Amino acid sequence: MRSKEHVGNRYRQASERVDLCLEDQNGKEWCLDEHGGRWVILYFYPRDNTPGCTKEASDFSCHFDDFVESNASMVGVSPDSGASHPRFIGKHDLKLTLLSDPDHRVMKMFDVWKPKKLYGKEFMGVVRSTFIIDPEGRIIREWRRVKVKGHVEEVLSALRELQGARSAAGSNM
C-alpha cells in the first residue's frame, strides 16, 4: 500500500512528484524540478518582518550549514512581493531562498491558504507549514500549524532520520 500525503484539495500519492515555480528574492524563477538530487525543505509563512516569521527564518538561517551538509536546500514561501524579500533577507542577514506567491497559487496547491480568525474577524491567510521534499521531488514529511520554537531542530532531525532510513534501505538491497 502506498502512503498518501494531503496536498491541495486531494490526496497525492507519495510516489507522485510535486512541481512548483515561483519568483525568488532576486526576481529569478525558482523551480523545484531544477533541484533534483537535493532534498528541499519548503516552508510557508505569513509575512516578512513579523515576529514569528522573522524568528522562523532566522532559525532556518542559523542551521544553514547543517542543512547544506545534509544535501538540503531551504526555501520559504510567502504572499509578500518580490521587493519585500530582499529587504527582509538583508535586514536579518538570512541565508535562504525566499519565493513570492502573491496570487496564492502554490499555497492553495499545498493547502496552506486557509480561512483564519483574529480578534473575531475572519480572513484568508497562510497556515504556517513545512514540507520535506525528497530528491525525486516527492513530499515525504509535513508539519501543519507549526509552532516556531524548536521547529527547525525538529525538521533537521526528521530530515536526518529520513536520510538514514533511505540509506539503510539502499544498503540492504
Q: Which residue has the cell 484539495?
A: 9
User: How many whole angstroms separate alpha carbon 79 and alpha carbon 48?
Assistant: 9
Name the amino acid, one letter, at 128. Answer: R
Q: Which residue has the cell 516569521?
A: 53
Choosing from 21, 31, 53, 62, the catalytic residue is 53
**62 assigned to active site:** no
pLDDT tens-digit series, residues 56-98: 999 999 999 999 999 999 999 999 998 999 999 999 999 999 9
In a domain, residue 68? The reply is yes
In a domain, residue 116? The reply is yes
In a domain, residue 96? The reply is yes
Mean pLDDT along residues 23-46: 94
Q: Which residues of 20-40 are buried (b: 16+ CB within 10 A; e: fewer)?
A: bebbbbeeeebebeebeeebb
Name the amino acid, one letter, at 6. Answer: H
Taking the CA atoms of 15, 16, 17 and 19 in sequence, report the sign of the dihedral they define.
negative
Residue 133 belongs to domain with CATH number: 3.40.30.10
- Which among 109, 110, 153, 101 is positioned nearest to 129, based on CA atoms? 110
In a domain, residue 75? The reply is yes
Q: Cα–Cα distances in Å, from 61 out to 17, 57, 65, 97, 116?
A: 27, 6, 8, 10, 28
| Residues of the domain holding 13 | 4-168
| Predicted TM-score (pTM) of this structure | 0.87
pLDDT of residue 36: 77
pLDDT tens-digit series, residues 125-159: 999 999 999 999 999 999 999 999 999 999 999 99
In a domain, residue 173? The reply is no
How many domains does the chain contain in total?
A: 1
User: How many whole angstroms separate alpha carbon 124 and alpha carbon 144?
Assistant: 16
* Strand partners of residue 130: 43, 143
In a domain, residue 55? The reply is yes
Confidence of residue 9 (pLDDT cuts 50, 70, 90): very low
